[in-house]
Amino acid sequence: MTVSSLDLIPDFDLSARNTLALKSRSRFGVMIETPDQVTAVFARAEESGLPLRILGGGSNVVLSSGYEGITAVVATTGRRVLEDTEEHVLVEAAAGEVWHDFVAWTVEQGFGGIENLAGIPGTVGAAPVQNIGAYGAEVADVFDSLVAYDAETGALKTFTAADCAFAYRDSIFKREAGRYVVLSLRLRLPKPWAPNLRFAGLADLEAPLDPAKVMARVLGLRGSKLPDWRVTPNAGSFFQNPIVTLAEAAPVLAAFPTAPNFPQADGRTKLSAGWLIEQTGLKGLRMGRAGISERHALVVINLGEADADDIAALAAHVKASVRARFGIALHEEPIFL
């Protein structure tokens, strides 16, 4: 693969490549279909002096209207079972695979371990970046290793779980944004399978259970709570659930003793951003071309023709209102690119 053979697409339209459906164009776009093309893309950007950004499924980003650089879309494919022993199944997928299709593929083969994470939009490569989580599980729970391109050294690097420094919706890839491009992910699914029914909405599932049954319930729960981005464009949870000290949480819990809160190992507690936003009276809010879903207060929606400025103005309003009402600072989950 020579640098010059990279196919740069001028005036690249990203409007259908982000789940918020924001109108967005990039001066150039390029599809990364093989791992070596990542190196070539970085070389090409360096040569041309243009900035470069990497996009996966576009489900956790707020894209600016115009980007004066190169947007590279990770579109590598492939998934396989590497080991199937009495203790575990080791599965691998390329970064450009659709996360949910990967989950469904494991479940179809009877492998359990990621069924609670079914239905999450986005790609396999993005999953470890923000350590995606739902229904009592997160990708870190079954993580084996990953391979990423390191833009600082120009080399590929294999990361163990410890290297990734996973935390709630966080990892080294998010903290050092722009440095690494995840190329492939390996998960170690433990055997025998034990269903994870910690989340309240799963606790009443009746035996006999298999991963497919749990996945079906998870998809049902998601469908009943979260608006579908194909119908109502959105980026899932727009704010992280704030993890705060007990002193910070005290005014909330004094006024609302039953407010959802989840004590953390470090003595802090996690509050529910959706609950805080709803209590602030913002559920269903409409502000210009953007709004808050009537179904889930954590979901910012595009009412049609919104751009990044509309989304940013709405997010700023929500943060200021929640801070004024409860003294709690919210932080956006999607990345503004």
| Site for ligand EPU, rule CB under 6 A | 134-135, 225-226, 236-237, 240-241, 260, 272, 274-275, 278, 283, 296-298, 333
* CA atoms of 34 and 159, how far apart (whole Å): 20
Q: Measuring CA to CA, which residue among 287, 277, 260 is closest to residue 321?
A: 277
β-pair partners for 150 = 155, 180
Sign of the Cα torsion 251, 257, 263, 267 reads positive
* CA atoms of 227 and 72, how far apart (whole Å): 28
Residue with smaller CB distance to ligand EPU, 95 or 297: 297
Residue from 92, 237, 289, 332 carrying the catalytic annotation? 237
Rounded to the nearest whole angstrom, what is the least distance from the CB of residue 240 to ligand EPU in the complex? 5
Rounded to the nearest whole angstrom, what is the least distance from the CB of residue 245 to ligand EPU in the complex? 19
Peptide bond into 208 cis (omega under 30): yes
* CA atoms of 86 and 98, how far apart (whole Å): 28
Residue with smaller CB distance to ligand EPU, 272 or 321: 272
Rounded to the nearest whole angstrom, what is the least distance from the CB of residue 325 to ligand EPU in the complex? 14
Residue with smaller CB distance to ligand EPU, 135 or 173: 135
* CA atoms of 291 and 284, how far apart (whole Å): 7
Identify whether 289 is a catalytic site residue: no
What residue number has its CB nearest to ligand EPU? 236
- Strands across the sheet with 9-13, in order? 9-13, 25-32, 66-74, 52-55
Identify whether 169 is a catalytic site residue: yes
Identify whether 237 is a catalytic site residue: yes
Residue from 17, 44, 169, 289 carrying the catalytic annotation? 169
Rounded to the nearest whole angstrom, what is the least distance from the CB of residue 49 to ligand EPU in the complex? 36
Residue with smaller CB distance to ligand EPU, 39 or 272: 272
* CA atoms of 244 and 331, how far apart (whole Å): 12
Residue 30 and residue 72 in contact, taking contact as beta carbons nearer than 8 Å: yes
In terms of DSSP bridges, do strands 143-150 and 155-159 run parallel, antiparallel, or are they unpaired?
antiparallel
Residue from 97, 115, 138, 333 carrying the catalytic annotation? 333
Residue with smaller CB distance to ligand EPU, 44 or 296: 296
Rounded to the nearest whole angstrom, what is the least distance from the CB of residue 107 to ligand EPU in the complex? 18
By annotation, the residues acting in catalysis are 169, 237, 333
